[in-house]
Chain A
């Protein structure tokens, strides 16, 4: 379980995140949704320690991450896997080397064990026999899957996904969403997904936090998103004229 408690972040005179608290539950896909610029990525960066919150705390199963020194944070981070928006695969390494990187860095596995784990992870994300390809040779969806394989290689307790569907076609997006849900359930991870893709929300939104103007505006699940009376949530969900027609009475 990850808990954020009253976290805030200001850049210059602009408050990007304001007093947000939320509990990200274990074994569930926890989604942070909201418009562009609503503070989603800033919250995620504070959660993984790339940014330090101005106020508040981030706790990983009771361990106050935001108060730790760099070494202690590195130890917690070994339990984290992250899928970046652009994949963030290491260009100079093959898919196999990318997946093996955290294993070679943090485990004493023998080469056969590493090889076995690489194949297991690549099979999980349905990237068999792509071991020797470089990131530049992969499609957008394949990059995301390879990145997901790298994220789960170290058997993480916590999985973060930053806009996993951006730049992907709807069908590939569904594949990625299914993978995230499947891995979360199978490995009982605490998964945090940042998205503004409504298909993802409906597909994997077991717990949802809606951000608006840097504040937590609403929380619930994928069913609640459709039935809420919160105007800002409804404006977000039914953004297009086409969708508005599906919700009579919505202006």
Chain B
């Protein structure tokens, strides 16, 4: 029953959040602020993780393919498929659920308990719309770019690791990442990323917006936001993959 209550309240909040902006100019400014706050500021950690992830996948693939029947360029192929289909869109989104999701939930939650949201409401500002809509739109817009960078860096990390350890030659790796390439898989990954971005920001904003109590509750909201957005990302990943790859 409580689950249904949260689902209902979540969609009502989204309805309020996506009502007509009261001042387009202010919202536009907020949108660009959030692009920087949510997206660009995550670039560092995404880059580091992607490079290492690519390196690890390449190393594991190289050591896994011991059969003479498997060509060595399969290392590059495996790295590409893993990075593009799953590691960059899903794992990096899970990472962002932790970083960005907890940040949004604690930011909005702190605003709630310190009456800043009440102050907005009393001014006549639609606080849900002002605080939530720019965050969701910014994440849905910027995350696919971040994931594209992550894909590139992942493949670069794989190349660097593979070539410098001698596990695979430069030519073989590049042959592998070009082998049987289908561009739609990139679009599929970016589509997934946009869905995950929506989940991360909206779930975090919901948890923050309905925080009540004190600092302890802000912490709990933040944790709940990360847990629920992670679960929903994995669920959405399963559903989208099932739909795309079986139809």
Query: What is the interface of chain A, defined by CB distance below 8 A to chain B?
Result: 48-50, 73-78, 80, 82, 84-86, 88-91, 101-102, 104-106, 154, 160
Contacts and interface: CB of A to CB of B under 8 A. Distances in A.
Contact of A88 (B23, B115, B125, B126): B115
A88 B22 contact: no
Contact of B26 (A73, A74, A86, A105): A105
Interface residues of B, number: 17
B116 A77 contact: no
Given A91-B110, A104-B23, A106-B23, A77 B115 contact: no
A77 B114 contact: no
Instruction: Give the dominant DSSP class at B's interface.
Output: helix
Given A105-B26, A106-B23, A84 B118 contact: yes
B81 interface: no
**A78, A105, A154 — which one has the most chain B CB atoms within 10 A of its CB?**
A105
A131 B178 CA distance: 57
Contact of A50 (B110, B122, B126): B122
Contact of A77 (B26, B111, B122): B122
A160 B123 CA distance: 11
Contacts of A105: 22-23, 26, 123-125
Contacts of A50: 118, 121-122
Contact of A104 (B26, B115, B121, B122): B26
A154 B119 CA distance: 13
A48 B118 CA distance: 10
Given A88-B114, A88-B116, A105-B22, A82 B124 contact: no
A161 B125 CA distance: 19
A168 B157 CA distance: 58
A105 B26 CA distance: 7
A91 B218 CA distance: 16
A104 to B, nearest CB: 5
10 contacts: A50-B121, A75-B124, A76-B124, A77-B123, A84-B118, A90-B111, A90-B119, A102-B123, A102-B125, A105-B124
Instruction: Give the dominant DSSP class at A's interface.
Output: mixed
Given A105-B22, A106-B23, A74 B119 contact: no
A210 to B, nearest CB: 25
Contacts, number: 61
Contacts of B119: 82, 84, 88, 90
Nearest to A76: B124
Interface in B89-147: 110-111, 114-116, 118-119, 121-126
Given A48-B122, A84-B115, A105-B22, 18 more contacts: A50-B118, A50-B121, A50-B122, A76-B124, A77-B124, A78-B124, A82-B119, A82-B123, A86-B115, A88-B115, A88-B119, A90-B116, A90-B119, A91-B111, A91-B116, A105-B125, A106-B123, A106-B124
A100 to B, nearest CB: 10
A112 to B, nearest CB: 16
A74 B126 contact: yes
A160 B119 CA distance: 11
B122 A86 contact: no
A220 to B, nearest CB: 28
Nearest to B124: A77
B105 to A, nearest CB: 16
A168 to B, nearest CB: 17
Nearest to B23: A105
Contact of B124 (A74, A84, A89): A74
B22 to A, nearest CB: 6
Contacts of A106: 22-23, 123-124
A84 B116 CA distance: 9
Contacts of B111: 90-91
A134 B126 CA distance: 24
**A50, A77, A78, A88 — which one has the most chain B CB atoms within 10 A of its CB?**
A88
B115 A154 contact: no
A86 B114 CA distance: 7
Given A86-B114, A88-B116, A80 B122 contact: yes
